[in-house]
Amino acid sequence: MAAYQVSSSSSSFSSNEVFLSFHGKDVRTSFADYLYHDLIGTGIRTFRDDEELSKGKEIAPELLAAIHDPPKIQQKIIVFDDVDQDIQVKSLAGDREWFGIGSKIIIISRNKDILIAPKTYAIYEPEVMTPDDSLKLFSHYAFGRDQPLEDYLDLSKIIVNTTGGLPLALQIIGSSLFKKAKSVWTGMLKKLKKVAKNDVMKCLKISYDGLKYAKQQIFLDTAWISESSKLEMHDVLRDLGRDIVRQESIKKAGKRSRLWFQEEVLDVSDKQTGTSKREGLTIDFSSRSRIECSMNEGIAKMTELRLLLVDYAQSIGNFTNSFSELRWLSWRGCPNQYALTNFCPKKLTVLDLSNSKITAHWMAWNCIKMAVNLEVLSLSSCYQLSSTPDVSENRLLEVLIIKDSEKLVQLDTSVCYLRNVVTLAMNGCKRN
């Protein structure tokens, strides 16, 4: 559940309020976002998470208190989107007596068992798309128009029928066939006919198999990184990508190219198994004492890492590994006193150092100069930063984010000579 910032005082509530909550995939740019703006437009006071909060965080006590405290005479509408655990609903809306007569609680979930409760008023199951609507959706992605080309009409109808009218499958398969020869279409149809209707994962896997190797790797990288960044990916696609990686070695996590489950990360690091093959690694440093001790040697031996998330790590060895293959590094909450030795990120394209304690005199800035391919640099909420670093060697930089760095007083002159910058975010830099 996401955290919220609202007052728990009952006196702060207006006569009409709505609480929006979500879990899993960030829905702030989908259903909940449209609902939020519509409610605001009608004058209803609406609460949802702060835009900067990460997805999947535990719900804050403030929201629990805010929901429990409103006077029972008030009518409430509470919306829970993408719920996958019944405890989430029980914690926030466990008893109708918490709310005034006429209040509505709307729960959206792919798990019907969560919705089957003694006090459930009604369950609404969206109907399967009609054949006409399915064909229209498929055509939009396959042809860029509402109807198929005449020569492809019969073939399109068969493909749409074979997918069982699943919207996501229609979108992905249609996109994969855009401007492709008929031979590719017939090949796709043969593969789809081997898959049971409504098996969306297998339908989507067929589209994945049709991608070239480079695009497959981009897809797997996005699935691996989607919950740890602002990249958006449908949760079904994310699960597909992660399952593909899991299939690389079902029993031995050490042989997989990317790891994100913490127990597997620790096990692989402790045993130092398959480290030379690792391409992506996510480490949760919330339990630092155990993890940091075990990760020092493990990470140092992962010479092929391209993607690394070590947010809030205070010590991960001396970086005797140069990490020359690294493309994406997220080290939010990086300490200022830590010195990177032998760090040579020549291929690095994305660097996220937001919420870090680094200063203008951070010893690692010289290493960052080596990142000649750097395109994105995030220094948001670096409260100790008084000046931006020298980015004269980072000539390909396109995105520079330094918002909410309250002590920032100047931009290094090198910023003025960057020719490729399309985004320079400085909002919240109060002293600038």
Concatenated DSSP letters for 390-420? --TT-TT--EEE-TT-TT--B--GGGGG-SS
| Residues 63 and 101 reside in one and the same domain | yes
Residues 218 and 197 in one domain: no
For residue 123, tell me if it sits in a domain: no
Q: Does 10 score more than 70 pLDDT?
A: no
Residue 33 falls inside a structural domain: yes
| Residue 170 token pair | 């229609």
> What residue numbers bound the domain in which 331 lies?
214-425
- Are both 321 and 393 inside the same structural domain? yes
- Of 210, 241, 264, which residue constitutes the final position of a domain? 210
Q: Mean pLDDT across the stretch 155-167?
A: 86
Domain for residue 120, yes or no?
A: no
What is the full DSSP assignment across 16-56? Answer: SEEEEEE-SS--TTSHHHHHHHHHHHTT-EEE---TTSPTT
3-state secondary structure of 107: strand
Whether residue 2 lies inside any domain: the answer is no
Most confident of 10-19, 60-69, 335-344: 335-344
* pLDDT value of residue 135: 94
Q: What is the pLDDT of residue 236?
A: 78
pTM of the model: 0.62
Question: Taking 50 as the threshold, does the pLDDT of residue 298 lie above it?
Answer: yes
221 phi/psi in degrees, rounded to 5:
-65, -45
In a domain, 339, yes or no: yes
Q: Is 225 found in the same domain as 202?
A: no
User: What CATH number has the domain bearing residue 54?
Assistant: 3.40.50.10140
Q: How confident is the model at residue 302 (pLDDT cuts 50, 70, 90)?
A: confident
Same domain (yes/no): 407, 337: yes
Mean pLDDT of the 316-344 span: 75
Give the whole-angstrom CA distance, residue 28 versus residue 33: 5
pLDDT confidence of 51, banded at 50, 70, 90? very low
Q: In whole angstroms, give the CA distance from residue 401 to residue 381.
A: 9
Q: Please state, in angstroms and rounded to a whole number, the distance separating the CA atoms of residues 184 and 303.
A: 39
| Tokens read off for 397 | 């930089």
Count of domains observed in the chain? 3
Q: Which residues contact 122 (CB under 8 A, 6 or more apart)?
A: none
CATH number at residue 236: 3.80.10.10
Average pLDDT score over residue span 313-325: 67
CB 306 within 8 A of CB 280: yes
100 and 72 Cβ atoms separated by less than 8 Å: yes
Distances (CA, A) of 65 to 60, 71, 296: 9, 12, 42
* Number of CB atoms found within 10 A of residue 121's CB: 8
**250: which residues sit within 8 A by CB, 6+ positions away?**
none
CA–CA distance, 3 with 54 (Å, rounded to integer) = 9
Q: Rounded to 5 degrees, what are φ and ψ at 35?
A: -65, -40
Same domain for 186 and 64, yes or no, is no
CB 336 within 8 A of CB 362: yes
69 — alpha (psi -120 to 50), left (phi > 0) or beta? Answer: alpha
Confidence of residue 19 (pLDDT cuts 50, 70, 90): low
Q: How far is CA 263 from CA 225, 240, 259, 269, 289, in A?
A: 18, 21, 10, 10, 15
Average pLDDT over residues 87-102: 72
CA pair distance 177, 209, nearest whole angstrom: 13
Could you tell me what percent of the chain has a pLDDT over 90?
25
Are 58 and 200 part of one and the same domain?
no
Last residue of a domain, one of 165, 183, 210: 210
Residues 155 and 189: beta-carbon distance below 8 Å: yes
Q: Are residues 393 and 244 in the same domain?
A: yes
Indicate whether 408 and 288 sit together in one domain. Answer: yes
pLDDT for the residue 73: 57
Given this model, what pLDDT does residue 320 score? 57
Q: Are residues 149 and 191 in the same domain?
A: yes
Q: Distance of alpha carbon 46 from its chain centroid, rounded?
A: 24
Cβ pair 108, 79 in contact under 8 A: yes
Phi (first) and psi of residue 271, to 5 degrees? -85, -15
In a domain, residue 121? The reply is no
144 and 89 within one domain: no
User: Is residue 398 over pLDDT 90?
Assistant: yes
Structural domain contains residue 219: yes
Q: Would 266 be classed as within a structural domain? A: yes
- Residue 336 pLDDT > 70, yes or no? yes
Tell me the average pLDDT of the chain. 77
Instruction: Match 């019907």 to its residue by tokens.
Output: 112
Task: Quote the pLDDT of residue 8.
Answer: 35
**154 and 240 within one domain:** no
What is the identity of the amino acid at 118? Answer: P
Last residue of a domain, one of 85, 115, 145: 115
What are the CA-CA distances from residue 308 to residues 55, 126, 161, 189, 372 (Å)? 19, 40, 42, 38, 18
Residue with the bigger pLDDT between 393 and 108: it is 393
